[in-house]
Structure 1
Amino acid sequence: MDIDNPGVLRAALDFPLPQCGPPSPFEKLDDGLRIGWAQTQTAAGVNNTMIPGDVWTVGSWGLAHHAGILTYPKHDADGAGSFLFPLSGIKNWTIVALKDGYMPRNKLPQFLANLSNPDMLLSEFQDNVDAQTIHLRPGDLLIMPPGQIHTVYTPVASFCRGGHFFNYDTMHLTELSRFVDTTKGSCVTNQAHAGTLETLCRLVIALPILPSTRKLYKRALISLCGMVAHHTKYTAEGQPKQESQTIALAEEIANAVLAHFGLDSYELYYEFISNHCEDMLNRGDEVQMYDVLRHYTQ
């Protein structure tokens, strides 16, 4: 791709490197793969089922950029967390965050769409956001939570390795990111991933068999179960509805969890998740779910 040719500007984004994964000791970040997929084969085997290919490829990919390429503000698709580390070259990675850490949910999608507009300068938003630039070189590792807005400048030709992951503790951020994508997915994010719903379903199916040492948190747990029980509400703009081979069992468990918290309708769930008195970036208090879920282990 003429990576050393100063006369061209090219980039190769998200090309699969399935032989790789998160660098040690960060393998345990990916609950989606190591728990959702690895621990649900008895309850929901994969024999004779169609599995979206990106289930296996989103976890590790490469990025190659010529010098001088600017990526405008965006967040990563479908509410995944991300990690990235340069193998050569330099990345100037700017993290953008709301000053108060909060904005009314109904105003957030349009605000992020404006922030992602290449015709608008980041300086125009200085009353609403803080930005910090991280100078990444080989040997550095960046881990971003779901929905993190970022903009990137590549000053020299660079090659990076990275990947996406899903984690129980950040499901409230995954939900918020996917909510934004339902109306602004075409302008604030990148490539969509067809296997997200299946992974979320398996994270729900795995809930009854989690060890007691694995803590769960109220807002994050409700967000996960809401994205499964009400999955048709989370179709990204311009994308087809995702399907899951395990949706029936996952919905049953998700609805049981939501009913435990008194959220047995979409209206009640949405009222909880949109409550402006709740910190939308806080995963919530620790909750014990053994008595609610033990029926599914018998």
Structure 2
Amino acid sequence: MWAIMTLKNPVAASQTPEKVAERMASICRFENQNNESNMHWDSTIWQDCEIELMYLRPGDFFFQPPGVLHLVYTPRACVASGGHFYNYDSLHLTEWTRRIQHLQSNAVTNQDPARVKEALNMMMLNFPNNQGKYFYRRALAALCRMVLAENEYIHQQQAKLKFGNKLDQKAEAMAEIVARVCFEISPAPGDERKLTVDALAKILEGDYREPGVAFRLEPETVQTIEKLALKYWEAFSAKKKKTTKKG
């Protein structure tokens, strides 16, 4: 028995991540923060939620989008398996979910998937190989931001992550190039990373469920991205050789 919970008030989806995270944490803890008696395990917290119940039978598969509040009850002994994957079309939901978990991971999830950064890095580097395919503006902006600002998505009480290997460096460079080409973000020299991350955050403002306008990855766009990437790799290699020679 699989239950999906959604907030009745559609305005809730456009609130700040901090407010949404606090509300979702209250629902998951089953406690009403507005109750004057401070009573825990208060079912009134669910009154502003719609609950849709599904019955999964042997052999059924169920695909659930990122960030969905859900309840699971198994009426008899069984064996079930689950997992997760990332999809270019739903990365705006992945980014929003990771932000909520960054704020309230102790309450809203019992999952901390491993090697997320590596998976997103590979998706970022693979982006130019999708010539002719359609992408969503906010979903792509979400991918760029997650690659560039990973420390804003780690779970509560976890130490800041330290990266800097070749895969990280290439993916982060690609994210900045894609932001420049696809979103026309051109920050002043010296502040590229911070200003790019802030500009991407502006694109992600609003209803987290909206993927944004669809656009086709045209051959000209791919050529521009590849040309800028090649310049970066050449400059990076030259800098590395220079540093090695000095050493």
Shorter-chain TM-score category?
A: 0.7 to 0.9
Structure 1 letter corresponding to 2:199: L
Is residue 87 of structure 2 the alignment partner of residue 174 of structure 1? no
Matches within 5 A, 1:95-106: 95-99=4-8, 100=10, 102-105=13-16, 106=18
More helix by share: 2
Q: Which of 112, 129, 133 is residue 24 of structure 2 equivalent to?
A: 112
Q: Displacement, 1:139?
A: 2.5
Q: Deviations over 1:102-144 (max 9, x none)?
A: 24023111011101104434542322x2111111110322110
Deviation at 1:271, TM superposition (A): 2.6
Instruction: State whether structure 2 residue 215 is matched by structure 1 residue 287.
Output: yes
Residue 233 of structure 2 aligns with which residue? none
- Corresponding residue of 1:296: 226
- Pairwise CA distance, 1:196: 0.3
SS in 2 for 1:164: coil
Tell whether 2:180 aligns with 1:259.
Answer: yes
**Which residue matches 1:229?**
148
TM-superposed CA distance for 1:285, in Å, is 1.2
User: Of residues 126, 129, 144 in structure 1, which corresponds to 2:47?
Assistant: 126
Q: 2:119 aligns with which of 194, 199, 202?
A: 199
The answer (yes or no) to whether the contact 1:205–1:253 under 8 Å persists in 2 is: yes
**In terms of mean alpha carbon deviation, does 168-177 or 96-105 score higher?**
96-105
Work out the CA distance in 2 between the residues paired with 1:211 and 1:293.
7
Q: TM-score, normalised by structure 2?
A: 0.74
Query: Shift of residue 252 of structure 1?
Result: 1.1
| CA pair 221-232 structure 1, distance change in 2 beyond 3 A | same
Alpha-carbon offset, residue 154 of structure 1: 1.8
Identity %: 30
1:215-235 Cα distance to aligned partner (Å, 9 max, x none): 211010000111111222212
Deviation at 1:173, TM superposition (A): 0.2
Letter in 1 for 2:45: E
Contact 2:145–2:200 (CA under 8 A) maintained in structure 1: yes
* Unpaired stretches in structure 1, ≥5 consecutive residues: 1-91
- For normalisation by structure 1, the TM-score amounts to 0.62
Which residue of structure 2 lines up, in the alignment, with residue 13 of structure 1?
none
Higher strand share: 1
Map of 1:237-248 to 2, 5 A cutoff? Answer: 237-242=156-161, 243=163, 245=165, 246-248=167-169
Q: CA deviation at 1:191?
A: 2.7
Deviation string for 1:6-41 (max 9, x for gaps)? xxxxxxxxxxxxxxxxxxxxxxxxxxxxxxxxxxxx
Q: CA RMSD in A?
A: 2.1
Deviation digits for residues 46-81 of structure 1, max 9, x if unmatched? xxxxxxxxxxxxxxxxxxxxxxxxxxxxxxxxxxxx
What aligned pairs does 1:31-42 form with structure 2 within 5 A after superposition?
none
